Structure 1
């Protein structure tokens, strides 16, 4: 990866035309060929960029560019379209290259699969006396995250989300409608379980007779020691 901090201007042509006036910016050139221009604001999103596959050529400025103070010109051309990004460098403050190696990718903690596995192991979060029937109980419209029975013997269908929103309640509603047609399972009660449940989703779930359950991920992992709490 190459990192260049420079006073520069940029011109993009292709599906549309865009111009970045001269300013101090960070230019990132990645090993995959992508080129990105960043300002010191606007969060993570670049001001302009060229995605791979593309090629970059470095050249001397034209006479007109040199008169305007341009010292170097980068031309980035997309290999599968007419998209072109031309960067005029006026003054370079930093230029370094770093070999990052192969990235293993993002490993998420607390994803729905983890929550589902822990919920199956701690099925009594549904209530004392509950027991697991199975995870990923298949239906004609997809798998129910967890199917269980409570202490009274009633079937319980659990939909698990990291963030509980209206779409999740709608999904569980469809599963319940289908499961309740099976005389071996009916009546089936629904539980919408998530680390966070949006107010609108909670209102909809309550209206449809679905219970809501907040999952404390740290406590389920055994990280949160309740006995050591001050409050």
Structure 2
């Protein structure tokens, strides 16, 4: 049976649009960056950035509606298995979390993975941390820069705070004081713990495999096979 015939309409749709939607998420993030950081430019540029953000969100919403229609499920059942789609629709800055979905969708076009498991995990964690860190720094700076008693006054402070939070260091020299800033902080803490755990576990597993292979290839010093009792 042909692979295309075996795929469902939903899978074929995802294979076509996953990569364009990823580029669309980068456009959304770039527009949001202009909206937050370009305070000294003409207002028309900030309004244009907002228009681009709105357009990208409408594209994401249309994609969600198509996925729901092609799944043939009711909304509540669709949300059980596609909760991440709903989450990134409500909070488009979290779309970097879909990088695994993007990779698996693109991988269907190949016979075998282009990268090893450990490289895939580390690459996913690194790119996700970079995009989420940038998005989190923008969002916190947007909330905190004019708040009374805020310690995050510049975007540099916000980037430093995002690095502290994602790496679970938490020096405490700069902290969010607004309710939404703290909500964003909790989200970054959870993502940071998950990404750090994935990288640490993958790296440890890779080291164990390397050392195991070396032990298997090393000839016994006394002529006995490996594992033999003295």
- Higher strand proportion: 1
Report which of the two structures shows the higher radius of gyration computed on alpha carbons: 1
TM over 0.5: no
TM-score range, shorter-chain basis?
under 0.3
TM-score by length of 2: 0.20
**Higher RCO, 1 vs 2 (CA within 8 Å, ≥6 residues apart):** 2
TM-score by length of 1: 0.20
